[in-house]
Amino acid sequence: MRDPFNREIRSLGISITPHCNLKCFYCHREGHNCNSNSLMTPEEIGKIVKSTLKFGVKKIKISGGEPLLRPDLVDIIENISDIRIKDISLTTNGILLENYAEKLKNAGLNRVNVSMDTIDPVKYKNITYCGDIKIVKAGIERALDVGLTPLKINYLAMKNTIEDLDPLMDYCRDIDAILQIIEFIPLNENLKKYYVDITTIENEIAKKSDKVITRKLMQNRKKYYVDGLEVEFVRPMDNTEFCNNCTRIRLTYDGFLKPCLLREDNLIDVISPLRDGKNIDDLIYKAILNREPYFKGK
Ligand code: SAM
């Protein structure tokens, strides 16, 4: 199905918990900060996912909070798995990945994105408040061993992490991971001082790259190859292209469909009707009709 702006719906992002074991000072928590503790069960998540498949969803991204904090994550993935889904991925801080990786792979998870803004242990601890980079690296190695690939490292470009980019590129090249450079969304006035326009970084990488691919199905994002390393950019801020080519709807951990990452005022409750035994197809339809680009251009 296409929304009123002719954007096809292909992907569903699911936040499965608001809780996290790190305290990154900048975190947007996937744009949903309601205090409800009513988490969806694995079966409920599975049912909602199956309903979205009728509208064209083919890719599922699981996030949070920290998704690995859910003890029933394997069950969640088993409930999501469906022959019609081409890709199930998980975004994690990697702290609990080492022990979980194999079970997740066996349950049907295809790949992981691991968030890592620096490889400097002291700085990593400062940014995340309490994280140990050694544990994250062990998790990444295990994920690579069991085939949760292609594995992407999510690096958030901020004023205080720019100097960490080169060492992170070397690390990704060494372990054969893709580096995803994400533009920082400042959530409040105090955080604006960390904002960096990643166009400058993209131009630098473009100059160094041996090959460039434009990903038509991924918001026309470019993929660069620098000495064997794949580098991608995610640039949501003031980016009409990002919005014009957005194919993702989202599901909050407490069971609301969220048509746009950057808005909280048009959520649609699907969990209450589902718990009342009602069909939720018309609500999914309504959420898709409610979609509009956040950055529309001038
Ligand atoms: N806990 C998991 C993790 O650390 O990857 C999943 C949740 S986290 C919110 C998902 C991604 O959002 C991370 O890669 C993180 O870097 C990114 N993120 C968090 N806050 C952000 C912000 N203010 N601007 C842009 N990206 C942000």
The 10s digit of each residue's pLDDT in 87-110 is 999 999 999 999 999 999 999 999
Domain span at 88: 11-289
Closest ligand 1 atom, CA of 154? 14
pLDDT tens-digit series, residues 49-69: 999 999 999 999 999 999 999
Any domain includes 273:
yes
CA–centroid distance, 28 to ligand 1, in Å, is: 6
Any domain includes 91:
yes
CA–centroid distance, 27 to ligand 1, in Å, is: 6
Any domain includes 92:
yes
> Which one, of 157, 154, 218, lies nearest residue 186 by Cα?
157
Q: Assess whether the C-beta atom of 20 lies below 6 angstroms from ligand 1.
A: yes
When mean pLDDT is compared over 142-146, 257-261, 286-290, 294-298, the highest value belongs to 142-146
Residue 278 has pLDDT above 90, yes or no: yes
Q: Assess whether the C-beta atom of 135 lies below 6 angstroms from ligand 1.
A: no
Q: Assess whether the C-beta atom of 29 lies below 6 angstroms from ligand 1.
A: yes
Q: Write 215-224 long-range contacts (CB < 8 A, 24+).
A: 217/10, 217/247, 218/245, 219/244, 219/245, 219/246, 220/245
Any domain includes 58:
yes
Residue 82's pLDDT band (boundaries 50, 70, 90)?
Answer: very high
Residue 203's pLDDT band (boundaries 50, 70, 90)?
Answer: very high
Q: What is the distance between the alpha carbons of residues 93 and 112, in angstroms, rounded to a whole number?
A: 10
- pTM for this entry: 0.94
Q: Assess whether the C-beta atom of 237 lies below 6 angstroms from ligand 1.
A: no
Closest ligand 1 atom, CA of 155? 16
Any domain includes 4:
no
Q: Give, rounded to a whole angstrom, the gap between the first and last alpha carbons of the chain.
A: 27
Residue nearest to atom 22 of ligand 1 (CA): 185
CA–centroid distance, 29 to ligand 1, in Å, is: 7
What is the residue-averaged pLDDT of the chain? 92
Residue 36's pLDDT band (boundaries 50, 70, 90)?
Answer: low
Q: In CATH, what number is assigned to the domain containing residue 44?
A: 3.20.20.70
Residue 29 has pLDDT above 90, yes or no: no
Any domain includes 284:
yes
Q: How many domains does the chain have?
A: 1
Any domain includes 269:
yes
Any domain includes 6:
no
